[in-house]
Structure formats: structure tokens, C-alpha cells
Structure 1
Amino acid sequence: MKIYKILIASIILMVSISAYSFELTSSDIKQGEDLSNIFEFNGFGCNGDNISPMLAWKNIPEGTKYFAITLYDPDAPSGSGWWHWQVINIPKNILYFARGTGNSDQTKIPNGAMQMRNDYGIYGFGGACPPIGDTKHRYQFTVYALPEKLDMAKDSSAALVGFMLNANAIASSTIEALYQRD
């Protein structure tokens, strides 16, 4: 009986470890550190380069068929945060987005993936743009491992896309960077 308890505990531990090993990395952004101006939006009073950062993910959970990437600012003074970027249905063989992949010209997004409309109203990356004088905002870059393709209309609201990602993800991993305009 004792051996079965040890075996069950080992299986639970392996499942727990594999669920937490999915990892988002970047050479452009770091956990808890400030974003560079190149990742600032160009518009709405901001004058950055509006370039999406390099992102890579590893330790893919079993059952993953697709990925999604989001950038969300929970500190935006909108009452509901601000969705800066959402890319869904990234094929499972894609494990890396080079810097600039999210640009709105759509030429660098992998075949089959879709950039959804962000809260700026564009289909692509929309960089940081907190109000002048606000405290530092948190910018959450998240990759999701998905078991199936998301069947979403291109004009779905960002909130609906966020809901579907959270409802269907096998796992996710986030890097939270900071940004402030003086």
C-alpha cells in the first residue's frame, strides 16, 4: 500500500512540475524592469517606435496544439485595463517571435495566426502609453498554450479573446515589465 502512495505522490509531483515549467523568455524585456522607449506606442500622445519585443517560449505542455500571446496593462485608467496586443492560433511549431513580429502590417505573423483588434483599435502590437504623471504601469506579456485552435471572429472584443484564452489554456507564462511617462 505504501508503494502505491509513493507512486501516486510522484505522479502528482511530475504533473505539477510540468504544468509550471512552461516559460516565456525575452532578450528585450525583463521581469520587473522598465520597458525601453522602442516599445512605447506611437500615437495617443506617445512617440515611441511601437515595436513588439522579441519573445520565446519553452517547456511546452503536453497536448499543446496552438499558442497565443497577449500584452495587457491592468493599471490603465479605463476601469477594465487595456489590451495592447493579442495574437491567437499560433501554430505549435512556432516557439519564437522576433522583435517587430507584431507590427500592424501583418507581414511577420506566422501563417494561420491572427492578430486581434487591440484597445487602440488596430490589428497588431500597440505599445505602452500610460498617461503622463501616472505611477508606473505593469505591462503583462503572456504566452498561452492551447489544446485547440480558437474559433474567434477577427473583430471579437479584446475582453472576449482574453476570456477564451483564460478558459481554454493548458498553461500560461508571463513577464511583467514596467513603464512610466513623466
Structure 2
Amino acid sequence: MSANDPFARLPEAASFTVTSTTVANGAAWPPEQFSSGVPGGKDVSPQLSWSGAPEGTRSYAVTVYDLDAPTGSGFWHWAVADIPATVTELPEGAGDDTGSGLPDGAFQLPNDVRQARFVGAAPPAGHGVHRYFVVVHALDVESIGVPADATPAFLGFAMAGHTLGRAVLVATAGTPATSESAERIEVSRLVPAPADAVFAVLTDPKGHVDIDASGMLMDAEGHPVQRPGDRFLVHMDREALGDFPLGRYDVEVVITKLVPGEEIAWTVEGQFRPYVRHIYGYRLEPAEGGTLVTSYYDWSEVDEEWRRRVVFPVISESALKATLGILERTVRRRAAA
């Protein structure tokens, strides 16, 4: 990654010291500081202690920023404002959903997944090592005066003229481009609806027909699914794609994972053995303005016989994106019915 300085075009400020029992400067984040969407990740904010702030400091702010995220603007993982000047430490886990470890008067701003809490590292597989700038900002005002729903970038703009000093610690994280990570596609979309409304479509067999972007799903039979192992029947028409002369046939959808309101995944059992064993799924996360829905397709456990027959993935990233758009439309229509 580039060695660019995130403070290069900001007003100069004195330096002071920040340390952490969670991670050393320049070292990799422990697993707990990764996103809960990463195996072992728990979205636990780091412990921080600081000292030597400039004279005249009247409050602090803390930010955690991934400069190397492939967004064009980096990625804000955490932002805390209005920490009293008498406070020089935050315990590990202070940045949970309720800000349980924050001092009176301090508050968390929504991060780049629009959650007012700490969200852990999740660098894309094979994208290299990312740098996470953990910064304590010493300010010359007791309150920086930004609204609780402001973005971290707006906080930074407001702090520019009030920053006396910065204490900086840099942590790192990377996700190797393993064969498993290379055999999975994920796309996300903010759906302006509550998670239960989205989940109602995904657990309804006919909902699967409603959101199909391929044109293959003709109809479905069965009750809404409630737990892993539940099944329903789908009537297919391969002629809609014009690729394989399979005509009309039926498959069974088998639920492999179901966490109400949070995640659903399934595989398909058709007329050929062995079964393919690729996985389709959705993860749902509350977000400002609705629900962040992530659609994924995983072919890491596909039977070797099928790998010799078919080139995977059999579904493209653009098709997953199209399905998310249709999902949003379906949720809206059902709400209006």
C-alpha cells in the first residue's frame, strides 16, 4: 500500500503518546478486533491510554481509520467525540453498541457501515496489508459541536480548526487470497426496510421466485422456512437461459443456515447425483436508513466431480447485484400490498 500521510493536508498539531494493551504500534490486530463477519472477529474496540497532551486541551476525540480500503475515501471504523479532558484511557470493548465503556458526555458517531459503535477490520482477501490509524485528537473545546448522526469525515472537518495535538498508533490487518476466499462472491445493498421485512421474503418459498434474476424459477411450493434442514420445492425452466437442454425440472432447496433476522443460506438438490453443494445466502445488518443486505455465493465445497464438469462460479457478481435490486423492489411491493 502507498505510504501516504492522512494528516499531510491538515493543520499541523503537536504530537503526544498513545499506547494500547490490545495492539502494539505497527503490529497486526488480534482476532477480536476484526469484524464479526470474519471468522474469529468480534468487533471489540481496542484498549487505549494516552499522555502528554498539549496544554490547553479541553476534550479529546478518538478515531480509527483504514487508509487503504478500496473505496477512494478510506473506511472509518470508529469515531468518539467529546471525551472529557480529565479522561486519558478507554478500556477494551468501550465501543460496543451502547458505548458501555465511554465516559459521561462522550458519544459515538456512525461509522462507515452507519453503526454508532466500533466495527472491526475486514480487508478484502488478497488486497494486501491495510493500515488502521488509531488517533487520539486533543482539542481546544469541551464539545466539538457536531450532531450525533454526523459522519466521521464531518467530525474531522469540525476538528481541523480546534486540534492542538494528535497521538497516533497504527495497527495492520490483511486477509490472504486463499483458495477458500477466492471461491466466494459477496455484494451488498442498503435496503430501506426493517430486517424482518427483508427476512420475510427470504424465508418464503415464493419469495425466492419473486427475487429471481435469472428467469429460471417458475414457481415454488412449501411453507416458510424456520430452521436449518427445512426444505421447499422449486419448479425450474432451464430453457429460460438457453445454455443446457434440461427443459423443465424440479429442485429442492435445503436450508443450511438460518438465524432469524440475521442470516439465511441454502443449497440445492436436483436431479443429478452427487449434489453440487454450492451455497447461496444473505446476511442482514441494521443500518441507518434500513438494512444492509449482503448476498453471497460460495462454491468452496463443491463436489470434485462437478468441478470437472462445470466452470465455477455459475452465477456472476452482477447477477447477485441484480437480485439485491429485485429484493428491494419485492420488499417495497409487499409492504404496500
TM-score (norm 2): 0.47
Amino acid of the residue matched to residue 157 of structure 1?
T
Q: Which has the higher contact order (CA 8 A, sep 6+)?
A: 1
1:24 aligns with 2:18: yes
Match of 1:153 in 2: 147
Mean Cα deviation higher: 79-88 or 105-114: 105-114
Instruction: Mark the structure with the bigger radius of gyration.
Output: 2
Task: Return closer, same or farther for 1:143/1:58 CA change in 2, 3 Å cut-off.
Answer: same
Q: SS of 1:35's equivalent?
A: coil
1:139 aligns with 2:135: no
**Contact 2:32-2:40 within 8 A present in 1 as well:** no
Q: In structure 2, how many angstroms separate the alpha carbons of the residues matched to 1:154 and 1:113?
A: 10
Q: In structure 2, how many angstroms separate the alpha carbons of the residues matched to 1:143 and 1:100?
A: 16
Q: In structure 2, how many angstroms separate the alpha carbons of the residues matched to 1:47 and 1:79?
A: 28
Amino acid of the residue matched to residue 171 of structure 2?
A
**Contact 1:141-1:174 within 8 A present in 2 as well:** yes
Amino acid of the residue matched to residue 53 of structure 2?
I
**Contact 1:46-1:129 within 8 A present in 2 as well:** no
Q: How large is the RMSD of aligned CA atoms in angstroms?
A: 1.5
Match of 1:7 in 2: none
Q: How many aligned residue pairs are there?
A: 163
Q: SS of 1:67's equivalent?
A: strand
**Contact 1:91-1:113 within 8 A present in 2 as well:** yes
Q: In structure 1, how many angstroms separate the alpha carbons of the residues matched to 2:126 and 2:14?
A: 39
Structure 1, unmatched stretches of 5+, are: 1-17
Q: In structure 2, how many angstroms separate the alpha carbons of the residues matched to 1:117 and 1:46?
A: 24
Match of 1:170 in 2: 164
Q: Following superposition, which runs of at least 4 residues in structure 1 exceed 4 angstroms of deviation?
A: none
Amino acid of the residue matched to residue 181 of structure 1?
T
Amino acid of the residue matched to residue 19 of structure 1?
A
Match of 2:31 in 1: 37
Match of 2:64 in 1: 71
Percent sequence identity over aligned pairs: 34
**Contact 2:67-2:131 within 8 A present in 1 as well:** yes
Mean Cα deviation higher: 171-180 or 151-160: 151-160
Match of 1:96 among 82, 89, 92: 89
Structure 2, unmatched stretches of 5+, are: 1-12, 177-337
Match of 2:117 in 1: 124
Amino acid of the residue matched to residue 21 of structure 2?
S
- Report how far residue 144 of structure 1 moved: 0.5
